[in-house]
Structure formats: structure tokens, C-alpha cells
Structure 1
Amino acid sequence: MAEHNQLIDAINIRTAVRAYDDEPIDDDAARQLEMALQPVNLLGNLNLQLVLNQPKVFEEANASGHLTGAANYLALVVPKGDEQARERAGFYAERVVLTATLRGLATLWVAGSWNKTEAAKHCRIAGNEELLLGVVIGHPKNHLAYQSMTYDELCERQRTHRSCKTYEQFTVTMGDEARAQAPDWFRAGVEAAMKAPSAMNRQPITFSYNPDDDTAAAHIDTTAGDEHHALNDLGIAKLHFQIGAGQGQWAWGDGGLFIHQ
């Protein structure tokens, strides 16, 4: 696989993968993922956990063909009753997803394609915590062929693997003139967010730019029909935008502002 080691490279090649080889994640890769979890859990006040070799969690989905060979997952364990934690979990778990992508691993965000009760049995969950969502992690099916693909081939695979809302749909509250006048970093941020996964693949996030104070804002699109996972999707989209835009930082929340630095 061609050399690529930046987070924007991971965004450009990441796809949702449903079929996995049965080769286990090696100790070095697992150690790298665990190392990635430590700072994000601290920064996000979260308890994200890597769980390996538990195919029973995906037994029904694997049997039905909805998934193939799924056995490992990133568990999003968050504080109960903390709505903002759902957004933080999306933001920081996606950061780990991109780390896995750079390691040549495949991922898939799951909301219903797993046995959540069984998954919780293999997690450390305190009384004031709950298991929110999961991310399947593993070697993609025929992973040796995947590793032989060039970076350009992987980018093309990402571009064509699913339908995606347009730039205009992601900036629906802006007119053509406002879009034309927005800075390059804003467009780069939106284009990176367009490649972000969402729990139900509905991409329920929009962005806008305010020239008066040179800030961007992220909004939940309530017409997308996925209110239950929208905050998680908001966090994922914000991370992609931040990486695409370059230096800058988000405020949490629906309508939170991004200050470019």
C-alpha cells in the first residue's frame, strides 16, 4: 500500500467495510490502537474500549450476510445522561478509526448490526456509564490485495463506494455567492466532512460560514430523520472538517463554532 501517514490521507481512503478476513489483529496493531485510545479518553472524558475476538457479538449479522467475519470492535462507553458525550464520542472514536485506517485496517460504524447486550458483556462499564455505539475493526476481506493497492486507487475506491450528498447540500443554508466568497479552508473542511461516516449513512450535518467573524458553524439537519444518532454524527463530521480545514478548534454542540487558526 502506498505511503500515507497523515490523517487527511486516512479520510481520503476510509470506506465502510462489511466483509472481514478471519486473521486476528496482531499485537503491534492492537497496541497502537490502545495507545491511541488513552489520550482521547482523557481529552473526551470517555471510556472507549477495544474488544478483540468476540464473533458472538456479530453472530446474527454474520450469519445473515449483512456482515462477514466481524469479530472485533471499538466500544463507545460514555457517561449516562451526558448529551454532549455523544458528540465527543463520535469525534474521538473517529480519530481512532482514522488511526486504524492508517494501519491498513477496515472499520464500520454499527448501531443495529450487532448484539449490543452481548457486546456490553465484554466491556468495562461503570454504573454511571452506558454503551452507546460500536465500530467494527479488522482486516478487510482479501486484505493482501487491499494492501497492494496504490493510494490513488484507494482514493478512487473511497470516492465511488457510496452515494454522497453534494457540497451544496452540505452548505444548504448558504447561497451561491456566500459559497463563492468562503475561504479555501472552509471548502476543504466541508469536503473532508463529506467523506465522514454516519451511523445510519444519512449524513445529517450541514455547515455554514460567517464572513463577519471568519468562523464556521456545524448544524444538525433535523430533516435527515436520524435524531437518535445525530449528535454522534455531528462529532464525526466536526473531526473530519477540522482535519480538512487545518489548524482550528470547534466548540461542542449543535451550532458550535469553528475558529480557524
Structure 2
Amino acid sequence: MAEHTQLIDAVNIRTAIRSYDSDPIDDDAARQLEMTLDPINLLSGLHIQLVRDRPQVFAEANASGHLKNAANYLAIVGPKDDDEAKERAGFYAERVVLAATLRGLGTLWVAGSWDRAEAARHCHVRRDEELYLGVVIGHPEHHLERLQESYDELVEVQRTHRPTKSYEEFTAGMTDDERAAAPEWFRAGVEAAMKAPSAMNRQPVTFSYDADADTAAAHIDPSAGDEHWALNDLGIAKLHFQIGAGQGQWAWGDGGLFIHR
């Protein structure tokens, strides 16, 4: 893995990790994560925090076997009642997730598999903020053996570890002719978004391409039944699309446009 340092590599190997080794995140690894968090929080207007060694936050999930040895998390904190901030939270927190992936750490987005009130006790939530979601983070189970696996082996694990909607489903508003005419950067973006995590794996985002304007758009699919976390999932999917497409920038919001550079 050491030679693979690009975000697209992280997209291609990231999986949801539910079982962790008991080894703690050491101070050096924590400092590296904080060096990623500081500029992202400044850029995004969020307040994402790394919280270590709080297994009580995951006591029930660890006891039931839903998780194993979960003890550390990213607290995704942002402004109250701010839909755009919730989308930004998905976009920018997933950027931290991908940075952690490149460092050999495992992650898992969580909404219900933790004690939210207990989690809030161990992070800083200002009066005008709320705790949106969390990301479990730590060393994957048998992580030393995992570090010996080749990039291609990890890509195959990612490809087969869960079912995913098809490219056609992710571009449900387009005709076959429109798909065939879309540029390669659009297809690469959609394929990267297909690998993005989402609440309960509902993948509630679709993409479309406007040939006249040479722009892409991202849409929340209401039929996915993910209205509670859809904005967060929209942000995550937009980040993956942007990384896959190469260069470009999104406008925030449902239906926001992507301008390819």
C-alpha cells in the first residue's frame, strides 16, 4: 500500500470496517490525523474532532457483536439546523476518512450504532452546533496482516464486500444514448461515487450529464428512503465523484452542478 498515496487509491480500497484490533491509535498517528482535520475544519466551517479511547460510546454495539473493539471516533460536529453544513459534513469528513484509509486505518460511518449522548460528552459541541454523525476509526482487525496485502488485493475486497447499485441506476435520469455520449470524466466520477459509503447502504444519490453545458448534476433520490441522512450522503457521493472525475468543483445542494476543469 505504501506506494499508493492518491485519494483515488483510497476510494478504490476503502471498505466499512466493523471489527477492530484493540491496539490504540498512538499519539503520532493522532497528530497526523489532526494535521488533516485542522485545515479541513477551517475550510469547511465544521468542527470535526478525533476522540480516542472511549469504548463506552460503543458498548452496546460491541457487546452485541455488531461492532468489535470500537473505541475511537470522529465526531462530526457543525452548525445547528443548517442543511448545507450537513452536506459539507459528508463531503469533508469523508475526505478525512480517505486520508485515514491511506494510513492503513479502518473507518465506519455510524448513525445508530453508538451512544450519541455519551459521544457528545467526550467532544466539544458549542451552543450553536450539533453532533451530526460519527465515524468509527481504528486499526482494522488483523491490521498487520492487512498491511501486507497488495493494492490489487484490497481493490478486490472493496469490489466484492457489498452489493452496489449499477451505473445505470446511478444515472437513472439519463437515456442509453445520453450515457454513451457522456465524457469519460463523468463515467469515472459516477464509478467513484458508486464506491461511496451511505446510510444503510441505500446509495440515495443519482447523477446526470448536460451535454449542452458540459456539466454534471447530483440529485437526491427520494425513492431510496434515506431522507434523514440524505444530505450527508449527498456530500460523500459528491466528494467521490469529484475525485474520480479528476479536476472540478461542485455547487452545494440537491441538484448542484459540477464544473469540470
TM-score range, shorter chain: over 0.9
Q: Does 1:156 align with 2:175?
A: no
* 1:2–1:151 Cα contact (<8 Å) kept: no
Q: Deviations over 1:175-205 (max 9, x none)?
A: 0000000000000000000000012210000
Q: Deviations over 1:148-183 (max 9, x none)?
A: 100000000000000000000000000000000000
Q: Does 1:145 align with 2:141?
A: no
* Matched residue type, 1:68: K
Q: Does 1:116 align with 2:116?
A: yes
Alignment of 1:37-116 (within 5 A): 37-116=37-116
Which stretches of structure 1, 4 residues or longer, exceed 6 Å deviation after superposition?
Answer: none
The DSSP-based 3-state class of the residue aligned with 2:70 is coil
Q: Deviations over 1:236-257 (max 9, x none)?
A: 0000000000110000000000
Q: Who is 1:225 aligned against?
A: 225
Q: Does 1:132 align with 2:132?
A: yes
* Matched residue type, 2:99: T
* 1:3–1:151 Cα contact (<8 Å) kept: no
Q: Who is 1:208 aligned against?
A: 208
So what's the TM-score if we normalise by structure 2? 0.99
How far is 1:2 from its partner?
Answer: 5.0
How far is 1:57 from its partner?
Answer: 0.1
The DSSP-based 3-state class of the residue aligned with 2:228 is helix
Paired with 1:212 and 1:201, the residues of 2 have a C-alpha distance of 33
Paired with 1:9 and 1:104, the residues of 2 have a C-alpha distance of 12
* Matched residue type, 1:133: L
Query: Across the two proteins, how many residue pairs are aligned to each other?
Result: 261
Paired with 2:74 and 2:199, the residues of 1 have a C-alpha distance of 14
Paired with 1:32 and 1:96, the residues of 2 have a C-alpha distance of 11
Paired with 1:31 and 1:167, the residues of 2 have a C-alpha distance of 38
How far is 1:43 from its partner?
Answer: 1.2
Paired with 1:85 and 1:23, the residues of 2 have a C-alpha distance of 33
Deviates more, 1:239-248 or 1:23-32: 23-32
Paired with 1:39 and 1:252, the residues of 2 have a C-alpha distance of 20
What RMSD in Å do the two structures reach over aligned CA positions?
0.6
* 1:2–1:150 Cα contact (<8 Å) kept: no
So what's the TM-score if we normalise by structure 1? 0.99
Paired with 1:200 and 1:74, the residues of 2 have a C-alpha distance of 19
Paired with 1:227 and 1:149, the residues of 2 have a C-alpha distance of 38
Paired with 2:79 and 2:66, the residues of 1 have a C-alpha distance of 30
* Matched residue type, 1:3: E
* 1:100–1:106 Cα contact (<8 Å) kept: yes
Q: Does 1:19 align with 2:19?
A: yes
User: Where does the alignment leave 5 or more consecutive residues of structure 2 unmatched?
Assistant: none
Q: Deviations over 1:131-154 (max 9, x none)?
A: 010000000001011001000000
Paired with 1:103 and 1:138, the residues of 2 have a C-alpha distance of 11
The DSSP-based 3-state class of the residue aligned with 2:135 is strand
Paired with 1:177 and 1:98, the residues of 2 have a C-alpha distance of 34
User: Where does the alignment leave 5 or more consecutive residues of structure 1 unmatched?
Assistant: none
* Matched residue type, 1:156: E
Percent of residue pairs identical:
74
Q: Who is 1:191 aligned against?
A: 191
How far is 1:42 from its partner?
Answer: 1.1
